Each structure stands twice: as C-alpha cells, then as structure tokens.
Chains A and B, each alone.
Chain A
C-alpha cells in the first residue's frame, strides 16, 4: 500500500505556481526526499501533502494513508495528521507545550487517541526505546532537554501514536553534526526495522544521500529530476542537480 501518493500537485500563490509535483509515492519502509534550495517550493509541497494549505490554491490528487486530502473533512484530516501521518519540524521544541513534562505530553497525546493505562505505558516505553532516548528524560520539561533530544522525542511521540509515515521538514538542520548523525540513525532504524515510511524535505544533499531511497530535486517550484537516490547522486541528469552536487564542499576520505 502506498502511504503517500501525490499526482499532479500544483500550488499557486497569487496566480503564480510556487510548487508543483507531478508524481510522488512513498511506500512503507521507504524514504523519499525532496531536496532544493530556499524558494524551491519543497516545504510548500510538504505542507500541501498534509492538507495544511488553503485548499483554494492547491490542485491535484493527494492521498495520505488512504485519506483523500483534497476532499476529506477537517476532522478526518486532523485525525490523519495526529496519528497515522506525523509532521516533524525543524525546531520540535516549538511544538511541545512548555509547561508540560515530556512524559505528561506523551500520556495526554495517547489518551486523546483512546490509549490509556498499561497499553499507554507500554507504547510510550517502546517508542522512547526506539529513538534511543533515556526514559529518565520523560520527567523533564521541553526546555530542559537538548535540541537533538527534543527532536527524538517528537519522533517517539509519532511512533507511540502509531504513525505509519513521518513527514519531516529539515529535521536536523538546527542540530550539531554529531547529533544529526544520531537522529538520522534513529530514522534509518525505524525505516528498516519497523517499516516506517519517511518523506524528508531538506536542503542538505549529503544528508539526503545518506538516508533517501528516492529523491526529487526541486527548483523554482518545479521538480527538475526524480529518481532512485543512488542513481541521481551517481549519475545526475539535470544540469541543476549536477550544480547542486558539485557545490557541496567535499570532506577528504579518511585514511586508515
């Protein structure tokens, strides 16, 4: 089953096309990435996919976890976004209620979806372990944890609520490189071991090359190249993709 299915998506603002994606499919256990520079329309495409944009400006067919985003009721969309498809943003702390401990936050979120008691505790424990978070951190408030921990908690929250697909917008660009490696490691494990699907939006080509199975390269609101990640990075066909790859400063190979 395809968890995210986008056909002929076009987003306009004031009559101008700011983002268009002809084809995008995310299957379980796969990571699809949209790369591009600022203004390329990559974040807009993600927002449209989740039904977070004004529907008057969006055309095309968008299906997320079997929900037709274009026609679904706001209530249905909220349910879909709350449980089966989770959004992870660049600064997760902004999305965490500052006056609640992380554990309370997780318990409340689970309770809202009808999961309580032993089952809630089991799910929370499992999710926290899956993102390699120390369970002791659940007793802390959002401002008492690091950016990387907050990001992993956001992912744990999605897992606990039963997310099948995570849509992430620059999830690691505010983090240190070591912390980024940790978060990326967590996402890769979830994909490989639990069949989680990932739709990743990022400006960082090197990062994308290390997690994505399929890549869409966007520029000025249009997809200029789309294909299997290994293919795109090894043999880019579009000149802009080549330019992007060439622009990444290269770290020399390690010598043993």
Chain B
C-alpha cells in the first residue's frame, strides 16, 4: 500500500539498473569502453598513423599475430588501429545523427503534441511523408545527390530518423498536456512557450532517452551500410562499414580484414540495444521493482 519514495540520483538509478538487469549493465560497460577507445584512439592505438593514409606495402595482409593483434589490411595498415579510429567515426556519426534527429523531432513533436489542432495536423502529416519512405532508401537517394562524405551520411540518416522522434514525442506530450499540472500552469497565466519548455518537455523526455539508446545501434548499422555502398565515408577515413566493404573480397583468404570491423559494428549495435531495452524496462513504471 505504501509507496516508498526514495531520492534517486541519476547515478544511483544506473546502479539500480545494473543490479536489476545484468545484460543492460554489460551493454553499458561495453559502450563506455568503446567511447573510451574512440576518445583515446591516438594514444592507445599501436600504430596511430595507420588510422589515416599511411601505407606499408611490405606488411600488407599479415595475419593476426604479436605485432598486429588484428592483422593488417591490403596496404599494410594495422587493423586494430583502424578499428579503434573507426570507433571515432562511427560514434561521431551516431551522436551527430541522434542529436540532430532528436532535437528536430522532439522540438516539433512537443509542439504538435501540446498545441494539438491544426499545428499537430500539419506537423504530423509532414512526418508521415518522411515515414512513407523506407529509411535506407531515402538515405540512399540523399547520399547520391550529395557528395559522399561523413557529413552526407549524418544528414541523410538524420533526415530519415527525426520523424520517429517527432511522432513519439507528440504522443507523449499530448498525454502530458492533459495532466493537472499543465492546467494549473495555464490557470496561472504562464505563457505557452514557457509551459512547453518548463513542464511538457521535461516530462516527455524519458521515452525519448530510451529510444535514443535503442537507436544508437541502428544508426551505426545504417551508416556502415551507406559507407559499404560507397555513399559515405571514403578512403583514407577509418570507418567500420567502409572497412567491411574493402575487406569483403578477401574474406576467404584474409578473413581478419573484414571480420574485426564487422565484429566492432555488431558489438556496438548490440550494446546500444541491450542498454536501451534495460532502460525501457527500468523506466517503465509498471515494471519497476518494488
């Protein structure tokens, strides 16, 4: 009967989450390690120059061994170093896409959800148009029109990603808008923009955070796919999708060139997903442990 209300700092919440959900905790740890690897790549990579345009023809396609744990690629660059530098590109793309998509989607969604009426109709119809195209297809089309580059990848994916955030936020904001504290603020004469920023937005963000974390893996996969198709990052940038594309023909003979960047994509996407699922479970009031 009694609900025990404890004060929970975000850090303690993560602690609770870790205890409640081992898989999510593993995801969190793996992600932290990947971020650290990306940040520290220039210092921890065994051959920092190999992250860029360096070539060592004499050491091409060496199998994994003492000097090169993950082996070397066609031009003799250390695959481990390139996977580490690739983490920077992939995480940058993921972060940039999610920030752009979430900011645009949440801003439009919260207005649509709270205002309702014609504002919601207009915004929701626009998102419907974007959602009508398969994300990869739309990104492909955009990436063809724009010059292949990391920025192109970011723009192309963000354009197909924001409508989901708009839709999600609109539905949450609409239900938050019916709460008593919103009515109370309106009765106080608090202007609508302030009500949105102060009350509707903070109370609508939880599901968005969950979605962000679930989507991290999806963005990395899509970015890898675009690069793989030659529409994203290009030589000599270290990018996982691009590395897979360059190494795929060698799979039967020199398996390590394609396998390690592929594993990096897999592990990162997986980590994002289990963390997202864990967050969803722990933030869902119906499933919160007593």
Q: Tell whether any CB of A sits under 8 Å from a CB of B in the complex.
A: yes
How close is B285's CB to chain A, nearest CB, in angstroms? 15
B contact face: mostly helix, strand, loop, or mixed: loop
Q: Which residues of B (121-154) have their CB < 8 Å from a CB of A?
A: none
Instruction: Please encode chain B, from 1 to 32, with 1 for each CB lying within 8 Å of some chain A CB and 0 for all others.
Output: 11000000000000000000000000000000
CB-CB < 8 A to B1: which residues of A?
38-44
How close is B165's CB to chain A, nearest CB, in angstroms? 30
Q: How many residues on the A side are at the interface (Cβ–Cβ under 8 A)? A: 8
Q: How many residues on the B side are at the interface (Cβ–Cβ under 8 A)? A: 2
Interchain CA distance A41-B2 in the complex, whole Å: 9
Interchain CA distance A18-B1 in the complex, whole Å: 10
Interchain CA distance A42-B2 in the complex, whole Å: 11
How close is A223's CB to chain B, nearest CB, in angstroms? 16
Interchain CA distance A43-B3 in the complex, whole Å: 13
Closest to A36 in B: B1
CB-CB < 8 A to B2: which residues of A?
18, 38-39
How close is B2's CB to chain A, nearest CB, in angstroms? 5
Closest to A19 in B: B1
Closest to B2 in A: A39
How close is A175's CB to chain B, nearest CB, in angstroms? 20
If A38-B2, A41-B1, A43-B1 are given as contacts, then 7 extra A-B residue pairs at C-beta distance below 8 Å, sorted by A number, are A18-B2, A38-B1, A39-B1, A39-B2, A40-B1, A42-B1, A44-B1
Q: List the interface of chain B (C-beta within 8 A of A).
A: 1-2
Considering the complex of A and B, which 8 residue pairs feature the smallest CB-CB distances, nearest first? A39-B2, A43-B1, A39-B1, A38-B1, A44-B1, A38-B2, A41-B1, A40-B1
**10 A-B residue pairs with CB within 8 Å:** A18-B2, A38-B1, A38-B2, A39-B1, A39-B2, A40-B1, A41-B1, A42-B1, A43-B1, A44-B1
